[in-house]
Amino acid sequence: MVQASQRLIAAKGKQVTSTELHTTRPSDDVLAGLMLGPTGNLRAPLMRVGQTIVVGYNEQTFRELFT
């Protein structure tokens, strides 16, 4: 899923990390840190919106993506 995407947005609490995957793709360890929770499972919600992967919930990010 990540290989076919252009951007990753990961929200943890109020902190939002946005990474452009097509220009500077982070290492697999960094991607796993953004996408996996403390138990090692994928964080929720996790969705693909067009060419963007969204991980976690942030109200402002959702408003920007869906309005």
Q: Would residue 37 count as lying in a domain? A: yes
Q: Would residue 55 count as lying in a domain? A: yes
How many CB atoms are closer than 10 A to CB 34? 19
Query: Please, which pLDDT band fits residue 1 given cuts at 50, 70 and 90?
Result: confident
Mean of pLDDT values over 27-41 = 93
As for how many domains the chain has, the answer is 1
pTM: 0.88
Q: Would residue 1 count as lying in a domain? A: no
Q: Would residue 33 count as lying in a domain? A: yes
Closest to 58 in 3D by CA, of 14, 1, 2, 3? 14
Q: Would residue 53 count as lying in a domain? A: yes
Query: Whole domain around residue 52: which residue ranges?
Result: 7-66
First to last CA, the chain: 24
What is the model's pLDDT at position 52? 94
Q: Would residue 2 count as lying in a domain? A: no
What is the model's pLDDT at position 24? 83
Q: Would residue 21 count as lying in a domain? A: yes
What's the Cα-to-Cα distance from 64 to each of 22, 24, 32, 57, rounded to whole Å?
21, 23, 24, 12
Q: Which amino acid is at 39?
A: T
**DSSP secondary structure, 41-57, as one string:** SBPSSEEEETTEEEES-
- Assess whether pLDDT exceeds 80 at residue 39: yes
